[in-house]
Chain A
């Protein structure tokens, strides 16, 4: 019993450690004073200042578009890879695919970023495409590393599925493609949704890989934040950080909620039988 209380104390300490810095950031974003660390009274003025900064607004728009396209592509590739990993027989191709798909999960970002950039440069030299780095190259880079996360989320869902439903559909004459879209996709849709939202927030957040893969005209939000943060702490960035924390938490919470709700439904359906 004594040990349990020790781990509980650590749990609360750990959660405090995780949340306190963000909470402090949110509080200080409403600081009137220009000096970030001196409290000068409550004021939302930095938010106003933030929404007048054209450079930041442009970067937000660029980031959102890249994140949208990357998440969509990552769900397509990741789901296919997850399907291969869970439904296909053990083979050489399957083994290399599952190794390649999980590698980006742990690979240091500088290595991934550097290698992708060198690939794009080499490709441009060899057959003139992509002529210059921009949104397209960032999209390719983000789709690649996000699909790893999608594959993990979707494959764990695919493993839990009852194969007999898919088999029944095919026995009744549905083509594999039809079975996939009419039976499998609806059953894994919460995982697809969660994977999409996760990829979206990962892409929105990525600094290192985007810095390597981007070119002129494709400056993402983290790149703008990073270059201004390098110079020191600024109240405008505090306001921006607060908005980012709120939005991303909301997205993360939604994806968690989708998965949980579907699990509950599945449980209820099982109990009803």
Chain B
């Protein structure tokens, strides 16, 4: 790192304000979720029993493990975790398969074209997420564009059920998160030394071989970052399974939402969130490691 600027009195304010804000509105909330995940649901406002109580000069702490036991016992909960992980994994793979060649093509394009292509890839991700998921409802439904076209062409006589299936959820996740896969991939691919690829092919390596032995290993950090950027939010996805999925695409984000808003069982919703976070600790750490390495390199 370069020589730090002279210290100044505003230093404490500069670090203090964002620090306090994030501590207050980002870190503290997780502590509260953890606390409430150990309490019991009640018909009250707010709808849970207090964890700490001070009665008769005694501080008592009630830790109720029931919510976590419920997650283990009720198959709906652990199945929804498994479904979420499976669907996020498959969708991430889909993003990688489609996104890698795209990022590669952008990285190899002339410098002036690169900026335009990147904008074209990023632009959809800046327009409304909800609207883009909604757009697929009209395309995939039984009377939608795909079915209508296929029936008109005479390929099928009955509409294929696509909306409200897992297939629609995969399409939705890949569609919504593809730009987040392409961006980190592009960032590593554009720095890749392509003379290595050329050397390999000069030495007679077939292009598929060169790809697996040279290009892919060298772009690993981008692959990891992009995959995490898709996988982590996809696990907790709510909007896509709700709008495109069917009854069997029970993803954990949707279950949490229903527990919270429909059943008003705040403690169970909290413990669902805690377990989800625990499952995501490894991918989140992986992403952070990439992020900090990326930043350090730039310094």
Q: How far is the CA of A95 from the CA of B92 in the complex (A)?
A: 29
Query: Contact between A114 and B127 (Cβ–Cβ < 8 Å)?
Result: no
Distance in Å from the Cβ of B243 to the closest Cβ of chain A? 7
Residues of A within 8 A of B243 (CB): 229-230
Query: Contact between B101 and A11 (Cβ–Cβ < 8 Å)?
Result: yes
Q: How far is the CA of A116 from the CA of B30 in the complex (A)?
A: 8
Q: How far is the CA of A258 from the CA of B10 in the complex (A)?
A: 29
B42 at the interface (CB under 8 A from A): no
Q: Given A115-B33, A229-B137 in contact, is the A7-B102 Cβ separation under 8 Å? A: yes
Binds B, one of A40-48, A64-72, A163-171: A163-171
Q: How far is the CA of A266 from the CA of B130 in the complex (A)?
A: 37
Residues of A within 8 A of B239 (CB): 207-208, 226
Query: Contact between A245 and B128 (Cβ–Cβ < 8 Å)?
Result: yes
Interface residues in B126-156 by Cβ distance below 8 A to A read 126-132, 134-139, 141, 143-145, 148
Chain B: which residue is nearest A207 at the CB level? Answer: B130
Q: How far is the CA of A232 from the CA of B26 in the complex (A)?
A: 35
Query: Contact between A108 and B235 (Cβ–Cβ < 8 Å)?
Result: yes
Query: Contact between B148 and A37 (Cβ–Cβ < 8 Å)?
Result: yes
Q: How far is the CA of A125 from the CA of B157 in the complex (A)?
A: 60
Query: Contact between B269 and A114 (Cβ–Cβ < 8 Å)?
Result: yes
A100 at the interface (CB under 8 A from B): yes
A24 at the interface (CB under 8 A from B): yes
Query: Contact between B123 and A100 (Cβ–Cβ < 8 Å)?
Result: no
Distance in Å from the Cβ of A195 to the closest Cβ of chain B? 13
Query: Contact between B17 and A88 (Cβ–Cβ < 8 Å)?
Result: no
B207 at the interface (CB under 8 A from A): yes
Query: Contact between A7 and B105 (Cβ–Cβ < 8 Å)?
Result: yes
Query: Contact between B277 and A11 (Cβ–Cβ < 8 Å)?
Result: no
Q: Given A14-B99, A87-B4, A144-B25 in contact, is the A225-B131 Cβ separation under 8 Å? A: yes
Please give the number of chain A residues whose Cβ is less than 8 angstroms from any Cβ of chain B in the complex: 103
Query: Contact between A156 and B17 (Cβ–Cβ < 8 Å)?
Result: no
A57 at the interface (CB under 8 A from B): no
B134 contact from A177, A233, A253, Cβ within 8 A: A233
Interface residues in A58-115 by Cβ distance below 8 A to B read 77-78, 80-81, 83-90, 93-94, 96-111, 114-115
A121 at the interface (CB under 8 A from B): yes
Q: Which residues of A contact B (CB under 8 A)?
A: 2-4, 6-8, 10-11, 13-15, 17-19, 21-22, 24-25, 28, 35-38, 77-78, 80-81, 83-90, 93-94, 96-111, 114-116, 118-119, 121-122, 125, 140-141, 143-144, 147, 155-156, 159, 163, 166-167, 170, 175-177, 198, 201, 204-205, 207-208, 211-212, 222, 225-226, 229-230, 232-233, 237-238, 241, 244-245, 248-249, 251-253, 256, 260
- 6 closest A-B pairs by beta carbon, nearest first, are A108-B236, A115-B29, A10-B101, A176-B8, A252-B126, A11-B105
Q: Can you list 22 A-B pairs, Cβ within 8 angstroms, ordered by A? A: A3-B211, A7-B101, A7-B105, A14-B121, A21-B135, A24-B138, A80-B18, A98-B292, A100-B23, A100-B27, A110-B273, A111-B276, A114-B33, A115-B32, A119-B32, A144-B21, A166-B5, A176-B5, A201-B127, A244-B128, A249-B126, A260-B115
